[in-house]
Chain A
Amino acid sequence: MTHLGYLIAGWGISLVVLGGYALRLAQRGRSLSALVPDERRRWLESPGNDRD
């Protein structure tokens, strides 16, 4: 296979960055969940949160 170093670098960097970002988001979400009461964790319904 030609250009193997470039392929490993390109695919490797992308997968590591996306994987690291996903991990960071999951960890941050988990730690924030602990600070918020159950009824405020839902984001699909937001009664009373509109600013109008």
Chain B
Amino acid sequence: MASLVVLGVLAFFLTDPDVRIHPTTGEEFGQFDAVRMLYLHVPMAIGMYASFMLCAVASIGVLVKRTPWWDVMAHSTAEVGTVLCGLVLVTGSIWGRPVWNTWWEWGDVRLMTTLVLFLLFSGYLALRRTTTDPRRQERQAAVVALVAVLDIPLVNRSVAWWENRTLHQRSTLEELKIEDLTLFTLMFGFLTFGLVIWWLTLQRFRVGWLERAAIDHAVVSAIAERRSETSADELDAALGLTDEQAGESS
């Protein structure tokens, strides 16, 4: 929480807006204060990539090891990644309005590949809610996740591979366009959102683990109860006791 407050102070009050002077006309241009979305949008996008890549690793674990740990990890990282992906789309759209003069562009490869990624993992989460055989569902979901992550290189490299088909700028970090306090604030944003995403993933994992444990515990309790009822009835029948006699003897 303190880290988020510090990030807010750095992003809103200590860093400079993006104002450049045109070399020939002398007019001011740039993103102005809209550039402050950088410290939010980019760390969430990197966190989204990390979550989905972890989901892919965990999905391989599901297919190879077939243990609940890997499955809960895959489900948790997919859910956290999908939340982040939705926020990346929303914040990107909000950032795009003042900078590109549009909320959304259907022909933009960066936007569309990100939307496809969001829809693929929404499908993954929908599949996890279907009531089929759990073991089969785990394996199907793992395959879906492994197919879905193939979109990540397309999302990430789209600005370089299809430069003329996107409004999105190329990677700020790769081209080292920022420095000093702006770079520090972005790095601090990575640290802050990294901690937030780590905490969310841990909590989501805990919930997934407890859901499984609660179901297992309920089943074990029900079986034990049924077993005890059955054995008492069978005992009464074997002794030839009526219900009244059995009640008196107990």
- A interface residues with partner B (beta carbon < 8 Å): 1-4, 6-7, 9-11, 13-15, 17-18, 21-22, 25-26, 28-29, 32-33, 35-37, 40-41, 43, 46, 49-52
Within 8 A of A (CB), among B158-186: none
Pick from B66, B83, B213: contact of A40, CB under 8 Å: B213
With an 8 Å Cβ cutoff, the count of chain B residues facing the other chain is 44
Q: Nearest Cβ distance between residue A49 and chain B, in whole angstroms?
A: 6
Q: Write the nearest CB–CB distance from A46 to chain B, whole angstroms.
A: 6
- Complexed CA–CA distance, A2 and B47 (Å): 28
User: Of the candidates A6, A22, A36, A40, which one forms a contact with B97 in the assembled complex, judged by CB atoms under 8 Å apart?
Assistant: A6
Report B76-87 CB contacts with A as 1/0, cut-off 8 Å.
000000010011
Q: Out of A6, A28, A35, name the residue touching B34 (CB < 8 Å).
A: A6
Rounded to whole angstroms, the CA-CA distance of A40 and B211 in the bound complex is 11
In chain B, positions 36-85 with a C-beta closer than 8 Å to chain A are 36-37, 40-41, 44, 65-69, 72, 83
Counting chain A CB atoms within 10 Å of each CB, which of B40, B44, B205 scores highest?
Answer: B40
Which residues of chain B have C-beta atoms less than 8 A from A32's C-beta? Answer: 207, 210-211, 213-214
Seen from chain B, the residues whose Cβ lies within 8 Å of a Cβ on chain A are 4, 8, 12, 17, 32-34, 36-37, 40-41, 44, 65-69, 72, 83, 86-87, 90-91, 94-95, 97-98, 135, 196, 199-200, 203-207, 209-211, 213-214, 216-218
Contacts of B17 in A (CB 8 A): 1-2
Collect the chain B residues with CB atoms within 8 Å of residue A18's CB. Answer: 83, 87, 196, 200
Q: Which residues does chain A contribute within 8 Å of B65, judged by CB atoms?
A: 50, 52
> Closest residue of chain B to A36, judged by CB?
B213
Given A25-B203, A49-B68, answer yes or no on A35-B87 (Cβ-Cβ < 8 Å). Answer: no
What is the chain B residue whose CB lies nearest that of A51? B66
* Contact, CB under 8 Å: B95 / A25: no
